[in-house]
Structure 1
């Protein structure tokens, strides 16, 4: 197994995000994305308090999801920056419509029962429960094991994708609803990407 290299820079502050303003050099943008993701995931393992966890969880709220997208959305899914972006993307989806997310997860449990145990949502889930879950999962970026964080996020996305594909009106079983199938497929792709990133993290090759 490749030895993991743990960096301990400070957590991202405003100067990390200011670097992307007007950035036209793809190499500089990639460097800023990698450095910021490394700071989030590898930088605060020693002395972590709830305030720090809350800051990371609400980073998209304070900096703007568009800012994070500009920084991380172009990163490969098998990179640290790409994995972090997908975690924030999953949280943004849940917060945009927590009621639907809860309904889709509840429906998906009948089709992907094993993943439910990993994802950790109470039964039956409601909007507050799924919001708490994604915040708890995202908090794992700075506390706990990062691979476990990725696996939990993947499990949640996989169950929700199953629920979305089998939602009333989706016609996923008989016939087809193009919009619903594509939406479920994208969520399943997100789950697969997070799962793969988790395996790379275990191997020490997610960088």
Structure 2
């Protein structure tokens, strides 16, 4: 279409397709249907799904489904790092562990199973509960990121102050090397904090979606 698709049409298609997909799975007893819905990103490609749903607001059904699919893809792709972040953010089992359905020391395989369980639960179980599980999970991972960022920031501060670990042997200028190490730690800490902030926003989106669903206002 010349000039691109009409935003109103795109919005209408986003809402109707999300509602149709959810309704189709909820009224099907065929496990193959559930499997196809779970793996739609792998089969159709993220660009196709993004074109339909990514511009939808977070308080809409297509918007929250988009975030849920992206959460699953992210969890599966970074399963090792996320398992570690969960252990950092939730060293002792709390209510978040119970809500998300995660052991306090999950393995990579546990993270993959959880990713599939949360998404499939949105389609075959209580949608609000699935959103709350997603919210609890992202909250803890965000906390893990913040803990790691704090550790890196402390290391950068120690290096800058000259009280950090010794500079690796073989460097020609130890002060420059320490400064470079400190800079790298600080840069990585900033990236982790940025990711944590994004996850916290997403967690709030999931929780808000759960509340809207229970009130019959998520469309």
Q: TM-score range by the shorter chain?
A: 0.7 to 0.9
The partner residue of 1:94 within 69, 72, 75 is: 75
Q: Distance in 2 between matches of 1:119 and 1:191?
A: 12
Residue in structure 1 matched with residue 177 of structure 2 by the alignment:
none
Residue in structure 2 matched with residue 39 of structure 1 by the alignment:
20
Q: Which string of whole-angstrom CA distances, capped at 9 and with x for unpartnered residues, describes residues 57-76 of structure 1? A: 11111111121112111100
Structure 1: gaps spanning 5 or more residues: 1-19
Q: Which string of whole-angstrom CA distances, capped at 9 and with x for unpartnered residues, describes residues 9-68 of structure 1? A: xxxxxxxxxxx9x95211111111111110122233233232121111111111111211
Residue in structure 1 matched with residue 208 of structure 2 by the alignment:
196
For residues 65 and 170 of structure 1, do their structure 2 counterparts lie closer, same or farther at Cα, with a shift above 3 Å needed?
Answer: farther
State which structure, 1 or 2, has the greater radius of gyration over its C-alpha atoms: 2
Q: Which string of whole-angstrom CA distances, capped at 9 and with x for unpartnered residues, describes residues 63-119 of structure 1? A: 111211121111000000111001001011112211001111121113883211111
For residues 165 and 192 of structure 1, do their structure 2 counterparts lie closer, same or farther at Cα, with a shift above 3 Å needed?
Answer: same
Q: Distance in 1 between matches of 2:196 and 2:153?
A: 12
Q: Distance in 2 between matches of 1:91 and 1:73?
A: 15
Structure 2: gaps spanning 5 or more residues: 158-185
How many pairs align? Answer: 187
Q: Which structure 1 residue ranges, 4+ long, deviate > 4 Å from structure 2?
A: none
Residue in structure 2 matched with residue 79 of structure 1 by the alignment:
60
TM-score of the aligned structures, taking structure 2 as reference length: 0.78
Residue in structure 2 matched with residue 136 of structure 1 by the alignment:
117
CA RMSD, 1 decimal? 2.4
TM-score of the aligned structures, taking structure 1 as reference length: 0.82
* 1:146 aligned onto 2:127: yes
